[in-house]
């Protein structure tokens, strides 16, 4: 395998060996035909690494190793496990407990997939304490466990001498192979021993030894199938058309050059302000050119009476520590320029609110509780009154109805207590679904909203951290804030995130890249000439401050130089009358 460069997922520039990159996991959208902007969904927060010259990354930044572990944590919930395929070099195995390097190898070989489960997404863990007992392990896992119990140390996920390797080439059909370059009687004897174990364990499985499939037909394979059910219970057999209730979705790796990433997070963002006036309660657009408040409600908006000639006043846009500048435009319009500080503040404040909500919920309190003791007293009093009314209603019923109600209430109470114990002892991330945030318009707050149904995204990874009782480091919140800032910039030009590919020359041709970029710039400048976009565009927040200050100065100079109309000129006689 020779070395080769990759193409940046955003800029289209080359990525050669040793180039610092910002990486994130992307999931192929199940709804790509409906919205081309969502062909790939951001799955997990970004981390810093270095391109390894062979289509993947290494040297993950020390401060981002927590994020690397979080990537693996998320995959434990929905990864599609696969055994070693026909090609032992490229058809690499995929497992819940795989390492970070194994995960990168599976992505490079396009073998890493996750399940979409829109019907029952917030489910209990696959295995371990508190798991859902109704969930049956994959056939591949069951066969591996059976062989490992009988032949400990002789089951591997890779082709090795004197070891079994199991995969599931078709859902609900297992395949067992033996050894590495081993065939003949040695191979068939080992497979016969494996079949004896599988059929004699009471797991309702049967096997057949057949000519080897795949690339090595001179070897033998043991194919394992579920037995038909002896009762009315439905048993699923091999799915030859690969049909599965959980639609598998491919995972890709986005790579963005670190210098491109830094340039994008330095971009200042500009948003229209629509904050209501603190004086009259009306929108700024309803004020006059001199910012005087209206004297009555407009379009039914709440109105607070104020003295005549009261002028527009609004609350703060961001906390004082967040750098931003307000730019007045078009008489009564206002726009705000802000940068990465605003995204960091929005991400951190939103996360703090999410934690407060779950903390209050676990204590049985509303999310807006300010005085827990007072609220608890009121809550307990309401519960006591409701219980007395219900007891009085039941006491008036016939004895048989009373007994039925009491039996039902006892069963409900026991089920609730059991589930409450389970949540405290074995919580899973579905218990902490982040359904909404107080103000999703805040910069950096979008990641805490629900993602695509049945597909794990950034929000669900935060739910996992709550369930695992893991403290979220500031580096993770800052990484998410930067991701939000980059997404905002890309949305303005219609660029969608996609996995990095190797589609260019073997090594970057920087001369050609420069010429191409310069040509595109000339076209953009010509297309915008004479339009409203033909204005200085800041690439940093400092430049935005300078532009706003320059525009304000020009407007003042224009106002001073503007001639006074005849009707507004002050005559000497008028001055005398006023005096």
Q: Which pLDDT tens digits describe the chain residue by residue (579 residues)?
A: 578 899 999 999 999 999 999 999 999 988 766 666 678 999 999 999 999 988 999 999 999 999 999 999 999 988 999 988 888 888 899 999 999 999 999 999 999 999 887 555 555 655 555 555 445 678 899 999 999 999 999 999 988 999 999 999 888 899 999 988 888 889 999 999 999 999 988 888 999 999 887 656 678 999 999 998 777 777 888 887 764 445 789 999 999 999 999 999 999 998 888 888 888 888 887 887 778 888 888 877 777 887 877 888 888 999 989 999 988 877 667 889 999 999 999 999 999 989 988 876 665 545 544 444 455 567 677 878 888 888 888 888 888 888 888 888 888 888 888 877 877 778 888 888 887 776 777 898 888 876 778 889 999 999 999 989 899 999 999 999 999 999 999 988 888 899 999 987 888 899 999 999 999 999 988 888 877 666 677 889 999 989 888 888 887 777 677 665 555 555 554 444 444
Q: Which residues pair with 384 in a beta bridge?
A: none
182 has which bridge partners? none
What is the pLDDT, as a whole number, of residue 579?
42
Q: Give residues with Cβ within 8 angstroms of 321, minimum separation 6.
A: 341, 345
Dihedral Cα 512, 513, 519, 524, nearest 10 deg? 170
The residue whose two tokens read 């009471």 is 202
- Number of Cβ within a 10 Å radius of residue 190: 22
CA nearest 119: which of 249, 248, 246? 246
- Rounded distance, CA 169 to CA 186, Å? 24
Q: Which residues of 289-306 are buried (b: 16+ CB within 10 A; e: fewer)?
A: eeeebbeeeeeeeebeeb
Contact 74, 456 (CB under 8 A): yes
pTM: 0.81
| Per-residue pLDDT at 375 | 54
Task: Using alpha carbons, select from 111, 121, 113 the residue that is nearest to residue 43.
Answer: 113
CA–CA dist 441, 263 (Å, integer): 23
Distance CA 267, CA 571 (A): 52
Looking at residue 399, what is its pLDDT?
87
DSSP symbol at 311: B
pLDDT at 511: 93
Residue 357, number of CB atoms within 10 A of its CB = 20
Q: Report residue 329: phi and psi, to 5°.
A: -140, 150
- The CA distance from 486 to 477, in Å, is 14
Euclidean distance between CA atoms 434 and 231, whole angstroms: 42
> H/E element holding 326?
strand 324-329
* DSSP-derived 3-state class of residue 287: coil
Greatest pairwise CA separation for the chain in angstroms: 123
Strand-pair partners of 336: 271, 326
Phi, psi values for residue 174, rounded to 5°: -90, 155
DSSP character for 174? E
């Amino acid at each position: 395998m020779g070395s080769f460069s990759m193409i940046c997922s955003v800029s289209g520039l080359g990525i050669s060996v040793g180039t610092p990159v910002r990486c994130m996991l992307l999931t192929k959208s199940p709804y790509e035909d409906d919205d081309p902007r969502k062909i790939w969904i951001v799955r997990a927060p970004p981390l810093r690494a270095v391109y390894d010259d062979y289509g993947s990354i290494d040297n993950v930044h020390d401060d981002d190793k927590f994020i690397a572990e979080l990537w693996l944590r998320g995959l434990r919930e929905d990864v599609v496990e696969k055994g070693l395929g026909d090609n032992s070099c490229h058809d690499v195995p995929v497992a819940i407990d795989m390492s970070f390097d194994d995960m990168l190898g599976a992505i490079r070989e396009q073998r890493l997939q996750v399940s979409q489960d829109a019907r029952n997404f917030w489910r209990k863990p696959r295995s371990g304490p508190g798991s859902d007992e109704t969930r049956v392990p994959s056939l591949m896992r069951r066969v591996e466990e059976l062989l490992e119990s009988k032949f400990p140390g002789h089951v591997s996920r890779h082709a090795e001498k004197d070891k079994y390797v199991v995969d599931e080439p078709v859902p609900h059909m297992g395949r067992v192979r033996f050894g590495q370059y081993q065939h003949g009687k040695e191979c068939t004897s080992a497979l016969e021993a494996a079949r004896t174990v599988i059929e004699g364990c009471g797991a309702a499985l049967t096997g057949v030894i057949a000519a080897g499939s795949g690339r090595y037909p001179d070897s033998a394979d043991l194919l394992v199938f579920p037995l038909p059910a002896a009762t009315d219970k439905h048993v699923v057999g091999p799915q030859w058309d690969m049909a599965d209730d959980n639609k598998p979705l491919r995972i890709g790796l986005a790579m963005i050059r670190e210098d491109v990433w830094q340039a994008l997070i330095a971009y200042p963002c500009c948003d229209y302000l629509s904050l209501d006036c603190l004086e009259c309660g009306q929108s700024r657009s309803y004020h006059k050119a001199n910012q005087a408040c209206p004297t009555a409600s407009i379009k039914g908006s709440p109105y607070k009476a104020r003295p005549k000639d009261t002028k527009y006043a609004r609350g703060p846009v961001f906390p004082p520590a967040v750098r931003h500048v307000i730019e007045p435009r078009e008489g009564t319009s206002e726009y705000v320029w802000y940068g990465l500080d605003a995204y960091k503040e929005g991400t951190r404040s939103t996360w703090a609110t999410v934690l407060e909500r779950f903390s209050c919920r676990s204590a049985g309190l509303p999310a807006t509780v300010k005085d827990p003791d007072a609220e608890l007293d009121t809550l307990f009093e309401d519960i006591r009154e409701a219980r007395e009314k219900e007891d009085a209603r039941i006491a008036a019923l016939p004895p048989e109805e009373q007994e039925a109600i009491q039996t039902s209430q006892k069963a409900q109470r026991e089920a609730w207590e059991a589930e409450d114990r389970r949540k405290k002892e074995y919580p899973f991330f579905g218990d902490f679904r982040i359904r909404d945030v107080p103000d999703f318009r805040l910069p950096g707050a979008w990641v805490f909203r629900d993602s695509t149904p049945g597909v794990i995204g950034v929000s669900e990874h935060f739910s996992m951290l709550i369930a695992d009782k893991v403290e979220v480091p500031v580096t993770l919140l800052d990484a998410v804030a930067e991701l939000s800032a980059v997404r905002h910039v890309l949305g303005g030009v219609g660029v969608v995130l996609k996995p990095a590919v190797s589609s260019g020359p073997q090594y970057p041709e920087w001369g050609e890249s420069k010429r191409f970029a310069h040509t595109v710039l000339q076209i953009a400048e010509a297309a915008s000439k004479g339009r409203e976009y033909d204005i200085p565009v800041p690439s940093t927040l400092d430049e935005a401050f300078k532009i706003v200050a320059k525009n304000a100065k020009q407007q003042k100079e224009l106002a001073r130089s503007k001639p006074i109309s005849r009707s507004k000129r002050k005559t000497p006689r008028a001055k005398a009358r006023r005096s």
